[in-house]
Amino acid sequence: MKLQALAAVLAGLTFSPAFAQTYNVEPNHTYPSFEAGHLGISVWRGKFNKTSGSITLDRAAKSGTVDIAIDAASINFGHAKMEEHARGKDFFNVEQHPKITYKGKISKWNGDAPAAVEGQMTLLGETRPLNLAINAFKCIQHPMLKREVCGADASGSFKRSDYGMKYGLPMHGDEMKLAIQIEAIKAD
């Protein structure tokens, strides 16, 4: 009798529907950007042009994950000389550390929308906690792809020196503000 009950429970677990949905980052509509002080007189802004990854959402369980990879060499300031310097050993050292990664779990919801992520960013081989606020979130049926697409605006901040990026301190700002505009398409 006990064996039959256990078999029934296991069968129920095996055929339980999964509510988590996977969304693939749409690289043509996802651009992590940052800003930092320059000589104390202005704020420089840059973005990364190549991003990949995935998001999982389980709205019923109010859970989800974020897994993002950024091509560090895709940095864009709109200033070729500064981009070349930023790719070098003083800043992003893209030859030795070609990827910046962020992995986290959705930690707060506002109704049916995720509102915060607790995660870790790996930059220059250093992995440290970095939490993001999700300032806006919305999903729609994509008019051309005929699949659900979700978009968000997330932000956070970190000290670049915590990751070993100390060039120009304290003249150039240590505190970096991070903003991520992201769109992700529901996987088939």
Tens of pLDDT, residues 146-166: 999 999 999 999 999 999 999
User: Between 169 and 3, whose confidence is greater?
Assistant: 169
pLDDT score at 74: 98
What ranges do the domains of the chain cover?
19-186
| pLDDT > 90: percent of the chain | 78
Separation in Å, CA 26 to CA 11, 68, 173, 181: 37, 11, 31, 11
SS3 60: coil
Which band of pLDDT confidence, cut at 50, 70 and 90, is reported for residue 18?
low
Residue 17, preceding peptide bond in cis (omega within 30° of 0) = no
The matching CATH number, chosen from 2.30.29.30, 2.40.128.110, 3.30.300.30, 3.40.50.300, for 19-186 is 2.40.128.110
Task: Look at residues 163, 66, 178 and name the one whose alpha carbon lies nearest to residue 123.
Answer: 163
Residue 19 has pLDDT above 50, yes or no: yes
pLDDT score at 39: 84
User: Between 22 and 44, whose confidence is greater?
Assistant: 22
pLDDT score at 40: 82
pLDDT score at 8: 43
User: Between 120 and 171, whose confidence is greater?
Assistant: 120
pLDDT score at 36: 85
Average pLDDT of the chain is 90
Mean pLDDT of all residues in 68-85 = 95
Residue 17 has pLDDT above 50, yes or no: no
Task: Find where tokens 């901040």 sit.
Answer: 157
User: Between 40 and 153, whose confidence is greater?
Assistant: 153
Residue 3 has pLDDT above 60, yes or no: no
Quote the strand ranges of 28-166, DSSP E.
31-38, 42-48, 51-58, 63-71, 75-76, 99-110, 113-123, 126-141, 148-159
Q: Tens digit of pLDDT for each residue in 85-117? A: 999 999 999 999 999 999 999 999 999 999 999
